[in-house]
Amino acid sequence: MHALSIPTWIIHISSVIEWIVAILLIWSYGVITKNRAWWGLSYAMLPALISAMCACTWHYFDNSPNLEWLVTLQAAMTVTGNFTLCIAAWWLWRTSKSLET
């Protein structure tokens, strides 16, 4: 695991943990408010979490060429996550507009 320094590992791992906690908190907020758009946001966050886990896994195995497919998967999940988060944000905006009227 010499590919990354200890401080960089701490940042990578804490970011993944923070993302998991954020997903759980957003899901809980959706339960409390009974607003399914918040559940949608928590689901929309999953591709970005998968992307981060791909990066951590690849670095854990010292950026092995045998696992280079993880880089492609990470990129695909990042793009997918950007789209799903955009759609979820739009859904939240639309839901908030309907609650105002």
Asked whether the beta carbons of 27 and 41 are under 8 A apart, the reply is no
* Alpha-carbon gap, residue 99 to 23, rounded angstroms: 23
Alpha-carbon gap, residue 10 to 95, rounded angstroms: 37
Phi–psi pair at 68, nearest 5 degrees: -65, -20
Statement: residue 2 has pLDDT above 70: no
Answer yes or no: is pLDDT of 1 > 70: no
Helix residue ranges per DSSP H, the chain? 6-33, 36-44, 46-60, 69-100
The pLDDT tens digits for 7-36 are 999 999 999 999 999 999 999 999 999 999
User: Using one digit for the tens of pLDDT, what is the confidence trace for 40-97?
Assistant: 999 999 999 999 999 999 999 999 999 999 999 999 999 999 999 999 999 999 998 8
